[in-house]
Amino acid sequence: MAEYYDLILGLIPLALIGVTGAVSAVGLSLTTAIPVGATVSVLLIGHALFVNGPVASAPESTPATPSLQTNSAE
């Protein structure tokens, strides 16, 4: 199943192209529509990094048995 960051990675180019196309279709010039689409993409990236930021997962526990290997010259 796709997780949050997978969706964000898919939405970034979709927002850039889709919002730019939609704003351009509404009647704004392409030189105005591209920054609007880029702003939406940057907002998605900012949300993924700062609002719902990645967290470190809990470290896996290592076995409690210590290594008793000796380094001998024999």
Q: What is the pLDDT of residues 8-63, one digit of tens each?
A: 999 999 999 999 999 999 999 999 999 999 999 999 999 998 888 777 777 776 66
Model pLDDT, residue 54? 74
| 46 is a domain residue | yes
Instruction: Give the three-state DSSP class for 7.
Output: helix
Query: For residue 47, what is the DSSP state?
Result: I
The predicted pLDDT at position 52 comes to 80
- SS3 state at 21: helix
* pTM, rounded to two decimals: 0.69
Would the pLDDT of 2 be above 60?
Answer: yes
* Cα–Cα dist 41/8, whole Å: 9
Domain extent for 14: 4-51
Domains of the chain: total: 1
Does residue 56 lie in a domain region?
no
Residue 23 placed within a domain: yes
pLDDT number for residue 56: 74
Q: What was the pLDDT predicted at 17?
A: 96
Q: For residue 21, what are its two tokens?
A: 């196309």
**Cα–chain center distance at 70:** 46
